[in-house]
A and B are shown apart, each in its own frame.
Chain A
Amino acid sequence: MSLVKWTLKELQDRFTRGDVSATEIVRAYFLRISVVESKVKAYITVNEKESLLSAARTLDETMGTWRKTMPMMAMPIAIKDNICTEGLPTTCGSRMLRGFIPPYDATAVEALRAHQCFFIGKTNLDEFGMGSSTEHSAFGPSRNPWKLTCVPGGSSGGSAAAVAADECVAALGTDTGGSIRQPAACCGVVGLKPTYGRVSRYGLIAFASSLDQIGPITKDVMDAALMLNVIAGHDPRDSTSANGPVPDFTRGLKKKDVKKLKIGVPAEFFGEGVDQEVHDAVCHAIAVLEELGGTVQEVSLPHTGVAVATYYLVATAEASSNLARYDGVKYGFRAKESHDLLEMYRATRQEGFGPEVKRRIMLGTYALSSGYYDAYYAKAQAVRTLIRQDFERAFEDVDVLVTPVTPTTAFQLGEKIEDPLQMYLSDLFTLSASLAGLPAISLPCGFSREGLPIGVQLMGRPFEEEVILRAARAYELATTWRQKRPRIR
């Protein structure tokens, strides 16, 4: 088997044992990229092969002198292009930041760099993370490796497609309303959105600050735990990052059962609008967890139905404020030939932002504007409290909630681009965990007749990533979905 098929854990083990060199790893991945990238289009920027090869040679030459290798050493990792990487362009999928080269690393990137991993490239996304398909990228859409005429999901569609197509061993994504979990489900890989505050947001270019989180997209659950081990923890540069202890997330992943685990199934996630195939696959996953020793009970999250409306008011309000910084002065794009400052601002933002970003800035500005603030923004914040309380009540009785990730499998390119509201509604099942700040993981639980992956979502209590990882791992070990790989054609 070609080394690009290995999981992060497998590649780490073989590199540590000396079965494979850093140079071989870099060469194999660049070969893979040269074969499939023109079809998948997962990357906005692929790092320079020569500079990575030279770093690899240095690693190989000094290998014997390391007392202990670090887990991520020599691992080819892809980074979503809204996370700052020092010296490597970071565009947010926007014309506005074309050519922007960050002068610093995001904290999560710094942590990976300290392990001497290889940043193989920066992955495609919907502009500033706003979208569910990568079709809103100024650099064109990525494709679903399982079916190239379908979207890979979004906004971390490039990261999910790169992992699924073996163009990196693992990737970082970001999740504001489902942007890690939904593309992971569409591409048949694992995506983990950690608890809000678990991973520093420093260097993550802000979309909606009260919702944004960085998290891993990987080939299996073990790999997600390994990545989280490296990026989690308090950061003095992010005042919203949590101070609590960070466990070893791989601990307990050897357990093959979920005895004593109380599983909640919220009826609101299984109603109208969910594809029969998705419904059946997720119900089967719940049955597997029950066979593994879990006890299943129905629970209710009564405000699920209003999560989309709540999210699109809260997120756009925050976005309209965060994106005010793009004014053509400090960095990024500036429109030419303006006569005065105000004209320059307006022309820069007109030319620099794509239609979806403008639409959301407009909605957010409207929701925050005088006369409408209470009716829209304040109302949405109050409903957000009710959504959180739904979860608090449910988690008095159960340890995890199991639901579909998406109502359908990956849709066709172009299918929803003309209808923003339809696109928003496809995020229905991932938004609530974001609004409540909870950890949630998406992992494969089957395939449609058409051969497209289906994902199951496990949500947990705040800072109980260990619980959802353990349940997800037990499920993964009891099934064979992760062994299926796309044939890219």
Chain B
Amino acid sequence: MNVTISQEEVEHVAELARLQLTREESEQFTLQLSNILKYVEELNAVDTTGVCPTTSVVADDAGTLRDDEVRPSLSQEQALRNAPEAVDGFFHVPHIIRDR
């Protein structure tokens, strides 16, 4: 497995993560992520043939869901109070689709 990550890959991952990196950051992350990925390569030395992955450590008796009934929740006003921009009871965002 090739673990060194290229700057193009770093920029692709940033795109996936919706992060707009500066040139300096993408250079720095290329170096730092390469080091970290090199370090985690030690996991390859561990034999995990036939081992089930652990996705959570929830207790056996947890995970019971409550009844599906309507309960009080945040009011519209409360839900919008922390929004950077709200208009007429809606979250306000910049253009999603532009007119041609």
Contacts and interface: CB of A to CB of B under 8 A. Distances in A.
Question: Main SS of the interface on chain A?
Answer: helix
Question: Main SS of the interface on chain B?
Answer: loop
A104 B75 CA distance: 12
Interface string B22-66: 100100010011011101101110101001111111110111111
A345 B33 contact: no
A103 B64 contact: no
A371 B17 CA distance: 16
A241 interface: yes
Interface in B44-100: 44, 46, 48, 51-59, 61-66, 74, 78-79, 81-85, 91, 93-96, 98
Given A329-B93, A341-B96, A358 B55 contact: no
A3 interface: no
A382 B40 CA distance: 14
B53 A242 contact: no
B32 to A, nearest CB: 6
Nearest to A102: B82
B93 A312 contact: no
Nearest to A361: B17
B44 to A, nearest CB: 7
Interface in A90-110: 100-101, 103-104
Interface string A353-367: 101001101110110
A197 B48 contact: no
Interface residues of B, number: 56
Interface stretch (A141-149, A332-340, A477-485): A332-340
Contact of B19 (A334, A362, A376, A386): A362
A365 B36 contact: no
Given A366-B33, A436-B57, A306 B20 contact: no
Nearest to A334: B84
Contacts of A380: 40, 43
B94 A343 contact: yes
B94 A362 contact: no
B94 A310 contact: no
B13 A365 contact: yes
A385 interface: yes
A308 B66 CA distance: 36
Contact of A361 (B5, B19, B22): B19
Contacts of B32: 359, 420-421
Contact of A242 (B17, B36, B44, B62): B62
Given A101-B81, A210-B55, A309 B14 contact: no
B70 to A, nearest CB: 14
Contact of A196 (B42, B57, B94): B57
B5 A379 contact: no
Given A236-B66, A334-B84, A365-B13, A350 B42 contact: no
Contacts of B40: 309, 312-313, 376, 380
A217 B43 CA distance: 33
B19 A375 contact: no
Contact of B82 (A241, A330, A381): A330
Given A236-B66, A385-B52, A421-B36, A365 B61 contact: no
Contacts of A363: 33, 36
A133 interface: no
Interface in A366-394: 366, 369, 375-376, 378-386, 388
10 contacts: A240-B56, A306-B43, A344-B93, A358-B25, A362-B29, A363-B33, A380-B40, A382-B52, A386-B51, A388-B57
Interface of B: 1, 5, 9-10, 13-14, 16-22, 25, 29, 32-33, 35-37, 39-40, 42-44, 46, 48, 51-59, 61-66, 74, 78-79, 81-85, 91, 93-96, 98
Given A243-B61, A369-B16, A421-B32, 4 more contacts: A100-B82, A334-B85, A362-B13, A380-B43
